[in-house]
Every structure is written in C-alpha cells, then in structure tokens.
Chains A and B, each alone.
Chain A
C-alpha cells in the first residue's frame, strides 16, 4: 500500500531525470581529467580509458597528442608496447602501421611503403589541454562543435570565498592522487554530494582526532538547496552541504542520540560542498580550513570510475608553498584523502551490486536529506551534452 505510493513518486522523479538513468557510461562531449602533468614525461606515452574511449597520449617537445588507442589494422593497442620512429607519428608494435600524431592519418606501413591504404586510413584524435598541472581530454563525438571551454567543465571560482584557490590560477598549490574504484561513476557523485552520508565518517581518525563531532547529517532549510547554479563560463552545479541552505541535525530522540557541542578551535565540519558537470565535486574547507578539494569521478566503463582528489591552496610566496607541501604530505594525503575518504570508496563499491541495473537509479525511497542527489540528477539530465553510448554499440 505504502510501498506502491512511494514507487509511483520514484517513477515520477525518474521521468524528470531520465537521461541520467541511461548514462551508465557517463556523459559525452565534456572535458575529463586524464593525467597529472608529471605522469607524462618528455616523449612519454600513456594510455587511459574514459567513458569507454581508449585513448593513447604522447608528449613530444612538450606538446601533447591524444589518439584512439587502437590500430585500424587488427585492433592492437599502441600502448601495449609503445613504438615511435620519429616525433610526428606513433606506430603499432605489431605490423608497424604508422599514424600522424596530429591528424591520426596512416602515414606509412613499415613493410609496405607504397600501400594503397596509406593516406586513407585514419584513427580519431582527441582535443587535449594541459592546465593547472593536469591533462584534460575532451571525450565524446569527434565532430562536436563548438567545443566548450575547459573552464565550463571545472568547478567555478567561488567569489564569496576570500581565500578560494582556483585550479587554473598561478598562485595556487595543487597536489593530488587518482585511483580506480569498482563502482559506476554516479555512485561516486551521489556519495560525495550527499549531505547525510557523513554517518560513515564518524569513526575516521580525521574526525575523531579533530575534537569536533560531525552532525548526524544535514537537511535542506532553504529553497536554494535544490536550485541549479549556472555560472557565466558555462559551469552548471548544485549544492551539497552548505551551511546557508542546509541545517545540521544534532539530535535523534527516537534513538536517544545527540551530537555533543563542538569544542573550541579549528572546526573541520565547516565545509561547503557543490557538484558540477560532468562529474566534479568541490569541497571548500577540506582537508582543512583555507584549503579546497576537487574530486572527479571519471567514468572508465559501466562498472568502474577513476577517483580523483586534488588539494588546492592559495600560496602567495615560496614560504606558504613550502608549508602547503608539508601539510599535503603529512596530513592532506595520508589522513584526508587516504584515511578519511577510504570509507567513501567502500560505500560506492558496496552499492554497485544493487545499482548495476540502471533502473535502480530512480527506484529509491528518497527522504528529505536526498534533495542534493535529486537536484544533481536533474541538473545532469538537463545540461549534459549527450549520453555516452557503450563502445561499439
């Protein structure tokens, strides 16, 4: 009886974000982080899979080239054994099919220099940009026009935050990590921007040692909680935890649980979270006051995503930069990204079994605390630039 009415609500909601439910392989025609700059040395070749696209990246004289990581001859991957005879091409290790880095056109075949295929075959290339110490690739349709700016797919500059470190600014310290997680990318987004998932962090060292207690969760308290954030450079987002539009829940009488008053001193619960297309989370105030974290949940395929975390801090001189480095290496990375965030990874992987059926997105029993997830789904349904099809479909 009650179940039936809840199901109907869920179905109605699902209709409002139907494209999102189909986005098992991610959203296409967006910029995604692929590597840290330091991961591709001069003349290095690396491969990455984003939203089902297998991509090989080569750096020559500082410039980056991205091509489909699959030879048009017999399907071998260049990255399986990188082979480059000169600065303009990449060759397949199997039979020496040699493609131009800039245009993907077949320039020669090692053992058949006059082959009629030469100049005719082509593998696709990908737009690639190196900004803020990171390498971004525009993944989707090869002919998508006009190509949006990288900024449109990054979290925006938060102008009301006086110490906000914007990733692409010169005076910003930025360090981070990325690792594969065995869950669909959406379970990353929907854990990060979920204002009541903090229950799972209650026992983390980071929380316990800070002397603060996390609230039981955050519940929307203003209409802005569910509104779209649309910024001039094209960024589209929604709020997660934000003290101005959410209120902390400190007590549950049924369970006889209440959160003790926070002690004096630096508070780790004063953070602000927002989600941004295509798969970014901005956390102001983490892993410490004055810092910002960006997370990305980049689709690899339908059951895995690459979990990115970078810590950002404004540093106006070398002294501040040295302090930021030390804090990153001793606290932000080991205690924040590794210890604190581990349970987030666990939670996503735990839910994967249930959500491997796409229709489960939309069959939830959402409560007041889930406004941020629903708003995110609607945002993604409204502003995505296309739903990524599975490879070779």
Chain B
C-alpha cells in the first residue's frame, strides 16, 4: 500500500517532467562541448558523437568547421580515414566525394568531375565555436532559429562568489579531462547534483586525508532549494548542495552514527553545487578552495555519455597561473578528478541497467533528499529546446 501510494505520487511527478523522461538521447538545440582546443590541431580532422549526431571537425587556418560525419554516397564516415585535397573541402576516403567545409555542398567527385550530382547534394553542417580553450558544437535541428549564445548553455557567473572563475574570462586558468562513461547522461546529472550521494565518497583519499568527515548528506532547509535559477536570456539552473539553503545531517540515532566535530583548517566539504541546462554541473570550491569545477554529462547515445571535468581558477598573474598549474597536475586531476570522482562513474554505470527502461525515470521512491533531482527534472522539462530523436535507422 505504501508502495502504491508512492507510485501514485511519482506518476504525478512524472507528469510534471514528462519530456525529461523521454530524453534518452539528450536535449537538442543546445551547445555541447566537443573537444578541448588542443585536441584539434591545425589541419587536423577529429570526430565525435553527440546526442546521436556523428560529427566531424576540421581546423583550417585556425578556423573550425563541423559537418555530419557521413558521406551521402554510401554512408562511409569521413573520419574513418580523413582525406583533404585542399583547404576548402573534405573528401570521402572511398570514392572521393568532396564537400565544401563551409556549406557541406558536394563540390566534385574525384573520378567524375562533371557529375550531375555536383552542386546538388549537401551534407549538413553544425555551428561550432571555440571559447575558453574548448570547442563547442550546437547540436540539434539544422534550421533552429534564432541560435542561442554559447553562454546560455554554460553555468552562470556566480556574482556572490568574489573569486569566481568564469570559464570565458581571460584571466581564468582552465584544464580538464574527458572520458566515456557507460550510462545514460541523466544518471550523470542526477548523481552530481544529488545532496545525499556523498555517502559513496566517504572512503575517498581526498576526504579522509583532509582531516574532515563529510556529513551523511544534506537535506533541504529553505524553499529556494526547489526553485529555478532563471537568468533572463541566460543560463537556467537549480541548486544542489548549498549550505545557505540545505542543512547537513550529522547524526543517525537509529544506526548510532555521528559525524565527529570538524577540525580546524581548510574544509573540502564547503562546496556549493548547481546544475545547468543542458547537462552541466557547477561545483564551487572543488577540487580546492577558490577553485571551481564544471562537469558535463554529454549524451553520446542512449546509454553512454562523455564525462567532462574542468578545473577553473582565477589567476591574475603568471605566478598564480603557475601555482594553479602545479595544483592541477599534482592534486586536482590525480586526487580530485581521478581518485575522488571515480566512484561517481561507478555509481552511474551501476544504475544504467535499471534505467535502460526510460519509464524508470519517475518510478523512484523519492525522499526528502531528492528535491534537487526532482527540481532538475522539472527545470529540464521546462527549459529544454527540444527532445533529441534517436538517429534514423
């Protein structure tokens, strides 16, 4: 009976975020990170798959071009063996179908220079922008207008944080990693912004060595917990852990457990977390005080996502930049991104089998700690620019 009441409640909830339940392949018509700038060298060709879109990118004269990574002739992928005869085109390795980088139009066929198909066939192109050392691609409908700014799909600048490093600012140090995770992208979002998942981090080197103990979790303590952060013409988000509106749980009497009093010193548990459309997480004060981390859980297909993590820090001069670099290489990446966050990846992949059936999003037995997840779902249902359809078979 308890179960059936929960189910009723959750079907009510589902109705409030129905589009989210359908978004197996992600949301379309958003900007997604595709590469770090240094991954696409001059004249290099690279390929990625985002939300089921196979995309090939070439850099010529510094400028980036993104096209559908599939020849219209017989379906070969350009990226299987990149072939470029000049600076304006990309050719298929199989029969030399040659497309304009800028417009995707078939310019020539190597062995049939007068072919009637020339000038008529076209592959689609994708808007691409290089900002803050990263390459972003606008993925979705080719004719989507007006095209939103990249900024609308990045975490917002946090004005109340005096040392906030905004990704696109000049004086910001930014380094990071990307890896492939075998879970739907939503399980990434719903782990990162979940205020009680920190249980899984309790044995981390990063936590244990800090001399602190984490609380058992955080529970909502103010109505703002479930509210949208709706910046006009800008990013849309919701709060995860935020000590101003959440309270830490430090005792469970039934289990006879209590978090010991905190010792003095820098506290790694003073993070503030927020989730942002289309699939970004902002963590302030991680992986160290005054740093910020952005994570993205970029859909690849319906069961994999690219897990991005970048560490950001304000650096006003070269000395600060060198210190940031050293911290990144010795702590942030090895201890933070790799050691601390490994268990997050494990958690997502563990849940994938259950959530491969999309209706499972909405059949949960949610408790008080899940406000952040539910409000994220509602936010996504409200502000997405379209549900990505699966690629046509």
Contacts and interface: CB of A to CB of B under 8 A. Distances in A.
Interface of A: 2-3, 6, 194, 196-197, 199-200, 215-219, 249, 251-257, 347, 350-351, 354-355, 357, 360, 364-369
A351 B75 contact: yes
Say which size band chain B's interface belongs to: 20 to 34
B72 A199 contact: no
Contact of A369 (B89, B93, B108, B111): B111
Given A196-B96, A252-B110, A354 B117 contact: no
B182 interface: no
Nearest to B108: A254
B122 A196 contact: no
Given A200-B93, A216-B96, A369-B95, A255 B76 contact: no
A354 B71 CA distance: 11
B113 interface: yes
B95 A365 contact: no
B113 A249 contact: yes
A196 B121 contact: no
A304 to B, nearest CB: 19
Contact of A367 (B80, B81, B86, B115): B115
Nearest to A363: B75
B94 A197 contact: yes
Contacts of A254: 98, 107-108, 113
Given A6-B120, A255-B85, A367-B117, A217 B94 contact: no
Interface of B: 70, 72-77, 80-81, 85-86, 89, 93-98, 107-113, 115, 117, 120-122, 393
Contacts of A2: 120-122
Given A6-B120, A350-B76, A354-B70, A249 B93 contact: no
A217 B107 CA distance: 17
A231 B93 CA distance: 36
Interface majority SS on B: helix, strand, loop or mixed?
Answer: loop
Contacts of A365: 72-73, 117, 121
Contacts of A255: 85-86, 89, 98, 108, 110
Contacts of B122: 2-3
Given A196-B95, A354-B75, A252 B80 contact: no
A351 B112 contact: no
A252 B111 CA distance: 7
29 contacts: A2-B120, A6-B117, A6-B120, A194-B95, A196-B95, A196-B110, A196-B112, A197-B95, A199-B94, A199-B95, A199-B111, A216-B96, A216-B110, A219-B112, A249-B112, A252-B113, A347-B94, A350-B77, A351-B94, A354-B75, A357-B393, A360-B75, A364-B74, A365-B72, A365-B121, A366-B73, A367-B97, A367-B117, A369-B109
A197 B122 CA distance: 21
B111 A355 contact: no
Contact of B85 (A196, A217, A257, A366): A257
Interface majority SS on A: helix, strand, loop or mixed?
Answer: mixed
Nearest to A216: B111
A218 to B, nearest CB: 7
Given A199-B111, A254-B98, A255-B89, 20 more contacts: A6-B121, A194-B95, A196-B110, A196-B112, A199-B94, A200-B94, A216-B110, A216-B111, A217-B111, A218-B111, A219-B112, A252-B111, A255-B86, A255-B110, A256-B85, A351-B75, A364-B73, A365-B117, A367-B115, A369-B95
B32 to A, nearest CB: 22
B96 to A, nearest CB: 5
Contacts of A368: 112, 115
A365 B112 CA distance: 14
B196 to A, nearest CB: 41
B112 A217 contact: yes
Contacts of A367: 73, 97, 109, 112, 115, 117
Given A6-B120, A199-B96, A255-B86, A219 B111 contact: yes
A254 to B, nearest CB: 4
A216 B91 CA distance: 13
Contacts of B74: 351, 354, 364
A354 B76 contact: yes
Given A2-B121, A2-B122, A197-B95, A249 B77 contact: no
A218 B109 CA distance: 12
Contacts of B115: 367-368
B135 to A, nearest CB: 25
B112 A350 contact: no
A372 to B, nearest CB: 12
Contact of B95 (A215, A217, A252, A257): A217
A257 B89 CA distance: 14
Nearest to B74: A364
B76 A351 contact: yes
A196 B111 contact: yes
B107 A215 contact: no
Nearest to A195: B111
A218 B111 CA distance: 7
Nearest to B86: A255
Contacts of B108: 252, 254-255
A-B pairs, 8 with minimum CB distance: A217-B111, A354-B75, A254-B108, A249-B111, A216-B111, A2-B120, A196-B111, A365-B72
